[in-house]
Amino acid sequence: MKTATQTAVFRAVAIAKTYQMGEVSVRALRGVSLELYEHEFVVLLGASGSGKSTLLNILGGLDVPTSGTVHYLDQELTACDDADLTRYRRDNVGFVFQFYNLIPSLTARENVELITEIAQSPMDAVDALDLVQMKERANHFPAQLSGGEQQRVAIARAIAKQPKVLLCDEPTGALDVHTGIVVLEAIARINRELGTTTAVITHNAAISQMADRVISLSDGQIAGVETNHRKVQANELSW
Ligand SMILES: Nc1ncnc2c1ncn2[C@@H]1O[C@H](COP(=O)(O)OP(=O)(O)OP(=O)(O)O)[C@@H](O)[C@H]1O
């Protein structure tokens, strides 16, 4: 079991992001500063359009801020070129999105192996599937799996390279409550057992009870940060 430490994995200072769409500029982030700590489980909560995905994409090196700085440990992401960011993502970040994006013609195990074949120090693909309780389905194709099962395979794929951080954008957004809870259990287990620093975006306030800390975004700014002194297990949640 790994618990949160005070070592900052991410340090963002005064990040702003403006999207220029012709004449119109959209201020998606308006001066966000935060730290995420090693082994921590953080929920990013906020209404649609509050800037959650923009923030997560910047932390994950998929996007760059218009101003401000972001560090991942000692590496300044905001000073990186595209090749550096690609390497940073490949070596350190697992992503989970609302839609699973599995390759339909490959089995669950082969979908995970696509990643383990190019990673520096991967775990065995079947061990990754075991962590999300999908080992028995390793030889099944995505079409033979439910939405929640496909999402668990996508989580296995994201963590098989043993990334330092796992960034999840609405991982239960397409799932019913029961299935969503099973997926959240898998994410919490990885955080607990591997110590992967985990950030989960949601607009479902119930999920925030699982986190070490809850960072609320509103209109491109941090509206509040709360620490949960008692974390609730996924199977105790309802919404
Ligand atoms: N590529 C883009 N081009 C233009 N505007 C964008 C782009 N991405 C996001 N935005 C705008 O930035 C703002 C923040 O979007 P973002 O996706 O970060 O919010 P969110 O909190 O993740 O929302 P949701 O919960 O609906 O996914 C929104 O007004 C959005 O329309």
Percent of the chain with pLDDT over 70: 100
- What's the CA-to-centroid distance between 10 and ligand 1, angstroms? 21
What's the confidence (pLDDT) of residue 52?
Answer: 97
The whole-angstrom distance between residue 202's C-alpha and the CA centroid of its chain comes to 11
> Ligand 1, residues 43, 48, 54, 57: which to mutate, most atoms within 8 A of Cβ?
54
- What's the CA-to-centroid distance between 19 and ligand 1, angstroms? 9
| Helices of type H across the chain | 52-59, 82-92, 108-116, 125-131, 147-159, 177-194
List, in order, residues 6 or more apart from 148 with CB less than 8 Å away: 175, 179, 180, 182, 183
What's the confidence (pLDDT) of residue 44?
Answer: 97
What's the confidence (pLDDT) of residue 235?
Answer: 86
> Ligand 1, residues 18, 19, 21: which to mutate, most atoms within 8 A of Cβ?
19
Task: Please give the average per-residue pLDDT across 5-16, as a whole number.
Answer: 94
CATH for 8-236?
A: 3.40.50.300
pLDDT digits (tens, 9 = 90+) for 24-74: 999 999 999 999 999 999 999 999 999 999 999 999 999 999 999 999 999
Band of pLDDT at residue 238, cut at 50, 70 and 90: confident
- What's the CA-to-centroid distance between 88 and ligand 1, angstroms? 23
Task: Please give the average per-residue pLDDT across 219-238, as a whole number.
Answer: 92
> Ligand 1, residues 15, 26, 219: which to mutate, most atoms within 8 A of Cβ?
26
pTM of the predicted model as reported, rounded to 2 decimal places: 0.94
What SS3 state is found at 101? coil
**Cα 5 from Cα 40, distance rounded (Å):** 7
- What's the CA-to-centroid distance between 24 and ligand 1, angstroms? 14
**Cα 5 from Cα 22, distance rounded (Å):** 44
Q: Ligand 1 atom 31: the closest Cα is on which residue? A: 49
Q: Which atom of ligand 1 is nearest to the CA of 46?
A: 21
Residue 82 has pLDDT above 90, yes or no: yes
- What's the CA-to-centroid distance between 163 and ligand 1, angstroms? 26
Please report, for the chain, the start and end positions of each structural domain, with discontinuous segments joined by +.
Answer: 8-236
- What's the CA-to-centroid distance between 26 and ligand 1, angstroms? 9
Band of pLDDT at residue 138, cut at 50, 70 and 90: very high
More confident site: 21 or 77 = 77
> Ligand 1, residues 50, 97, 99, 202: which to mutate, most atoms within 8 A of Cβ?
50
Q: Which residues have C-beta atoms less than 6 Å from ligand 1? A: 19, 21, 26, 28, 46, 48-54, 203
Residue 203 has pLDDT above 90, yes or no: no
